[in-house]
Amino acid sequence: MAAGKVFIFDTTLRDGEQVPGCKLNTKEKLELALELEDLGVDIIEAGFPISSPGDFESVNQVARAIKNATVCGLSRAVQKDIEVAAEALKHAARKRIHTGIGTSDYHIRSKFNSTREDILERAVQCVKWARNFTDDVEFYAEDAGRTDNEYLARVVEAVIKAGATTVNIPDTTGYCLPSQYGQKMAYLINHVPNMDKAVLSCHCHNDLGLATANSIEGVIAGARQIECTINGLGERAGNTSLEEVVMILKQHKHLGLHTSIKPERLNPVSRLVSDTMRMPVQPNKAIVGSNAFSHSSGIHQDGFLKDAQTYEIINPEEVGADSSKIVLTARSGRSALAYRFQKLGFQFDRNDVDVLYNEFVKVADSKKEVEDTDLHAMALSYQKKAPVASTGS
Ligand code: KIV
Ligand code: ZN
């Protein structure tokens, strides 16, 4: 394995599917899993098999169908959960059991009414049990973001000794600052003697809008797996967005980190997930939002039309998006207006555009966006008054 490879663990079908209204049936999960495999994700978390017979069936079908990616099933640190996950995954070409328990004092006291020593013992037992079914066992320390680092390091060391091959450090509540999350990873790398025997994984939630930043800090500090979802779907404010982390690592090559994702599939897969889960993507969403490659202010449009790189760090084709758009609003300028007329087949010179611009801003002030039909009407009326000035289609 190359040192700079970051594994992409996609949890759209598990954490993403927990979003109210996003529930998927088996056929839908299967279709999305095949797309995720084609996208190039390394691990697909297909579901939580003990949660319902329907989800057991979905994980089972995904496990049978996927050939290249690892298929993963979630479980609590409960023997029966682990057995059911193992049963659901039994036909997978590569299978992973993801098991774990809350390690913060909030979880230990309020959720489990327990002690740190007891939780550490339960963590070790669940990993040992899961190892009876597969060599690929991932342990999650739920609410690791708010877990005391010294105790977390003891848990991580113990679960690796028990056979965990990946250790997930979830910021379950989205609490950490990027620097804190990065320092947590660095602390584990420096204080867990057997850390080199397992992959450290980032699993961040977006309650403060920091999930992507935290995951990136995590891999800069030395983690080598990011758990993420298409469109950033997930509990509450969502999870780390897959498309964002992939493109950040691609843009910032100096980090020396890369993934196996095919970037040109990002927009098609985003649309498929949005349609299948009936969950619209916010227009200003990075990489996959409908405005991600739209330019509307005059200053930006002028710069963009002179050289796209002035205002775009990513070519939309690279991420499978429609080509960049010059949107006409009351904030747009003459260059954009001339460009849009030109696209409609009207060749206006500078003086024509000056006259037309006065008409344009009046129309633009009266509506949100000036459309091609408005431009046609403007151009034809102008041509009637000055018939020799231009040609139009
Ligand atoms: O956010 C979280 O802690 C989780 C775990 C179950 C991995 O989703
Ligand atoms: Zn989560």
Domains of the chain, each with CATH number or no CATH = 7-276 (3.20.20.70), 294-385 (no CATH)
Task: Return the residue whose CA atom lies nearest to atom 5 of ligand 1.
Answer: 142
One-letter identity of residue 59:
V
pLDDT-based confidence at residue 359 (cuts at 50, 70, 90): very high
| Residue length of the chain | 393
Pocket probe for ligand 1: among 75, 167, 168, the residue whose CB has the most ligand atoms within 8 Å is 168
> Is the Cβ atom of 168 under 6 angstroms away from ligand 1?
yes
The CA 172 to ligand 2 mean position distance, Å, reads 6
> Is the Cβ atom of 302 under 6 angstroms away from ligand 1?
no
Mean local confidence (pLDDT), 285-314: 97
* Closest-CA residue to 155 (of 171, 170, 144): 144
> Is the Cβ atom of 142 under 6 angstroms away from ligand 1?
yes
> Is the Cβ atom of 203 under 6 angstroms away from ligand 1?
yes
Ligand 1 atom index nearest CA of 168: 7
Q: pLDDT by residue (tens digit) across 193-212?
A: 999 999 999 999 999 999 99
The CA 108 to ligand 2 mean position distance, Å, reads 18
Instruction: State residue 120's pLDDT score.
Output: 98
Lookup: tokens for 154: 């003891």
One-letter identity of residue 42:
D
The CA 27 to ligand 1 mean position distance, Å, reads 25
Pocket probe for ligand 1: among 9, 15, 75, 176, the residue whose CB has the most ligand atoms within 8 Å is 15
Residues 6+ apart with CB under 8 A from 93: 66, 67, 68
> Is the Cβ atom of 227 under 6 angstroms away from ligand 1?
no
> Is the Cβ atom of 102 under 6 angstroms away from ligand 1?
no
> Is the Cβ atom of 225 under 6 angstroms away from ligand 1?
no
Task: Return the residue whose CA atom lies nearest to atom 2 of ligand 1.
Answer: 172
* Cα separation, 24 vs 61, whole angstroms: 13
The CA 144 to ligand 1 mean position distance, Å, reads 10
* Cα separation, 384 vs 199, whole angstroms: 71
Q: Percentage of the chain with pLDDT > 90?
A: 97
Phi then psi for residue 47, to 5 deg, are: 160, -165
Pocket probe for ligand 1: among 9, 200, 203, 239, the residue whose CB has the most ligand atoms within 8 Å is 203
> Is the Cβ atom of 15 under 6 angstroms away from ligand 1?
yes
Q: pLDDT by residue (tens digit) across 250-260?
A: 999 999 999 99
Mean pLDDT value across the chain: 96
* Ion ligand 2 neighbours, Cβ < 5 Å: 15
* Closest-CA residue to 175 (of 162, 167, 184, 166): 184
Q: Is the pLDDT of residue 1 over 50?
A: no
Is the Cβ–Cβ distance between 328 and 336 less than 8 Å?
Answer: yes
Residues 6+ apart with CB under 8 A from 352: 382, 386, 389, 390
**Measured in whole angstroms, how far is the alpha carbon of residue 121 from the centre of its chain?**
34
Instruction: State residue 385's pLDDT score.
Output: 86
Instruction: State residue 2's pLDDT score.
Output: 47
pTM, entire model: 0.96
Pocket probe for ligand 1: among 142, 176, 236, the residue whose CB has the most ligand atoms within 8 Å is 142
Q: Percentage of the chain with pLDDT > 70?
A: 98
Ligand 1 atom index nearest CA of 98: 7
Angle at 104 (CA atoms; ends 101, 106), nearest 5 degrees: 105
Mean local confidence (pLDDT), 105-121: 97
DSSP code at position 282: P
DSSP string, 325-393: EE-B-TT--HHHHHHHHHHTT----HHHHHHHHHHHHHHHHHSS-B-HHHHHHHHHHHHHHSTTS----
> Is the Cβ atom of 348 under 6 angstroms away from ligand 1?
no
> Is the Cβ atom of 146 under 6 angstroms away from ligand 1?
no
Instruction: State residue 393's pLDDT score.
Output: 46
* Cα separation, 378 vs 263, whole angstroms: 40
Instruction: State residue 336's pLDDT score.
Output: 98
The CA 172 to ligand 1 mean position distance, Å, reads 6
Ligand 1 atom index nearest CA of 170: 3
The ligand placed nearest to the CA atom of residue 235 is 2
